[in-house]
Amino acid sequence: MKSILVTGGAGFIGSHTVVSLINSGYTPIIVDDFRNANKTVVQGLKKLVEQDLLIYQVDVCDKSKMNEIFEKHVFEGVIHFAAYKAVGESVDFPLKYYHNNLNSLMVVLECMKKHAVDKLVFSSSCTVYGEPKDLKEVDEQTPKVQANSPYGNTKCISEEIIQDYHAAWPMLKAVNLRYFNPVGAHSSALIGEYPIGKPNNLLPYVTQTAIGKLEELTVFGNDYPTKDGTCIRDYIHVMDLANAHVKAISFLEKQESSCCEVINVGTGKGTSVLELITLFESKTGQKLNWSFGPRRSGDVTEIYANVSKAKKILSWEASYSIADALIHAWEWEKKINSK
């Protein structure tokens, strides 16, 4: 079976992608130093896939150790997740984000060239679009504007690094997947999002408030120019996102010549923060203790994906609903709190 290196493979999106890779006949090899991942997820992951997993506990910024891993294996391709991802934290600690997110990518690219691994799927983000000026539905041709956060800027710069490296090393075949907002968990409740410390993403904050781990959910801002005053996002089930990575690897395998594509991965539908809260309460029967707070620095008002390119290029589209994601996330939250 073909081996795929998955950096950050013990994290939220990475762990679900490992499941999709195995289900599609690939052998994922994980590199993760567990600074942003919980080893509990690995135990659930092994149970879910019913096999042992090869995991290197290594910092992806460590070029020497990464080279050793590339020397031990013949990789068909690389899926690069490993990065810091909290918008708010990046505003407070920009250098932390620039150092980790950019250096890890450059180490991966250098190792790929040295060992003639020519397929890369990069974990990018819709944050590269910044605050859309006109249409809130963005496609890949929508001009990138100044990112609203250092995190978003690291994704912009990373895409530019990949494009420049592709020009210098034409052998490279790359897909930058621009994620919208991943939510949910595996339907088995064996793996899901496991934040270290206080959650930075909305849905874990919702589920932890519902179960009593957190006292109150704060909705950041109620005066945005949207239908209910709260931010609007395109929430995509994490298993749909995981499947998009496998489709991207498959796409790259079929390419006879060099390529460097950017592809949106979302549902094409915007949902406000209040709509998500209301839907969670109706689907789970759990009332949430929440209140409005001030706007959060770095947040975009409204954005959702045009996903026609993903359908055309990858033959991929989302199959799970937001309701599915909320139910699966709640089942996961109950599972990890039942121990």
Give me the pLDDT at residue 38, please.
Answer: 87
- Say if residue 339's pLDDT is above 80: no
Give me the pLDDT at residue 240, please.
Answer: 98
Per the CB < 8 A criterion, the answer to whether 314 and 171 are in contact is no
* CA separation, residue 253 to residues 40, 173, 207, 256, 288 (Å): 33, 9, 39, 8, 46
Give me the pLDDT at residue 146, please.
Answer: 82
**pLDDT, tens only, 291-336:** 999 998 878 899 999 999 999 999 999 999 999 999 999 999 999 9
Q: How many Å from the N-terminal Cα to the C-terminal Cα in the chain?
A: 36
**pLDDT, tens only, 230-263:** 999 999 999 999 999 999 999 999 999 999 999 9
Give me the pLDDT at residue 122, please.
Answer: 98
Give me the pLDDT at residue 200, please.
Answer: 78
CA pair distance 35, 25, nearest whole angstrom: 29
- Which residues does the annotation mark as catalytic? 151
Helices (H), 144-211: 150-168, 202-211
- As a whole-number percent, the residues of the chain with pLDDT over 70 amount to 100
CA pair distance 283, 289, nearest whole angstrom: 16
**pLDDT, tens only, 13-60:** 999 999 999 999 999 999 999 998 888 889 999 999 999 999 999 999
- Say if residue 135's pLDDT is above 80: no
Return the amino acid letter for 262: V
CA pair distance 84, 81, nearest whole angstrom: 9
Give the pLDDT mean for 125-149.
Answer: 87
Structure-token pair, residue 76: 């068909």
Largest CA distance in the chain: 55
Structure-token pair, residue 54: 């090869």
Question: What is the distance, to the nearest Å, from the Cα of residue 253 to the centroid of all Cα atoms in its chain?
Answer: 22
Helices 273-284 and 202-211 pack at an angle, to 10 degrees, of: 40
**pLDDT, tens only, 57-106:** 999 999 999 999 999 999 999 999 999 998 888 999 999 999 999 999 99
| Torsions phi, psi for 146 (to 5 deg) | -55, 125
Per the CB < 8 A criterion, the answer to whether 68 and 112 are in contact is no
- Say if residue 141's pLDDT is above 70: yes
Structural domains of the chain, with CATH: 3-183+236-265 (3.40.50.720)
Strands (E) in 50-141, as ranges, are 54-56, 75-80, 119-125, 137-138
